[in-house]
């Protein structure tokens, strides 16, 4: 099995960091754009799509800045992360997504994120 690599995607967003963080870190927010159903209990999130479920644990977070999840089925050192940055030049809010994929799957995974982020921006009115 090939080792997955970390890749990063960046999206400028017209939204306050506080509101954006709610959409990235709470079950209600994530259910708006990331999964059909999201539940959380003691830092363990259950995501549901088309009748299937997947679990992820929050392994690190800083309120209003970032949240890092680890899928239960992934290798220990793999994660996906939502990070909120502010551009020093334009003062614009930037959503940074970090995820792991096989090299040959990065393009497809990036397109999936692109689709989901478009839904997020639609929900944010951005």
Mean pLDDT of 73-96: 93
| Sole residue written with tokens 């793999």 | 78
| 2, pLDDT greater than 70 | no
Number of domains in the chain: 1
Alpha helices in 15-105 (DSSP H): 17-25, 27-33
Tens of pLDDT, residue by residue over 87-109, are 888 889 999 999 999 999 999 99
Q: Which residue range(s) make up the domain with 117?
A: 5-124
The predicted model scores a pTM of 0.93
CATH number of the domain residue 68 falls in: 3.30.530.20
Note the pLDDT of residue 82. Answer: 98
Of all helices (H) and strands (E), which one includes residue 115? helix 106-124
Tens of pLDDT, residue by residue over 14-54, are 999 999 999 999 999 999 999 999 999 998 999 999 999 99
83 DSSP β-pair partners: 66, 96
């Amino acid at each position: 099995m090939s080792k997955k690599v970390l890749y990063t995607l960046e999206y400028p967003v017209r939204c306050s960091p506080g509101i954006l963080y709610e959409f990235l870190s709470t079950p209600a927010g994530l259910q708006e754009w990331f999964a059909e159903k999201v539940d959380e209990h003691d830092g363990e999130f259950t995501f549901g799509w088309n009748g299937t479920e997947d679990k992820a644990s929050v392994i690190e977070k800083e309120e209003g800045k970032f949240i890092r999840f680890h899928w239960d089925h992934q290798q220990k050192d793999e994660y996906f992360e939502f990070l909120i940055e502010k551009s020093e030049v334009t003062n614009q809010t930037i959503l940074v997504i970090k995820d792991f994929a096989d090299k040959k799957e990065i393009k497809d995974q990036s397109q999936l994120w692109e689709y989901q982020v478009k839904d997020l921006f639609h929900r944010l009115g951005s």
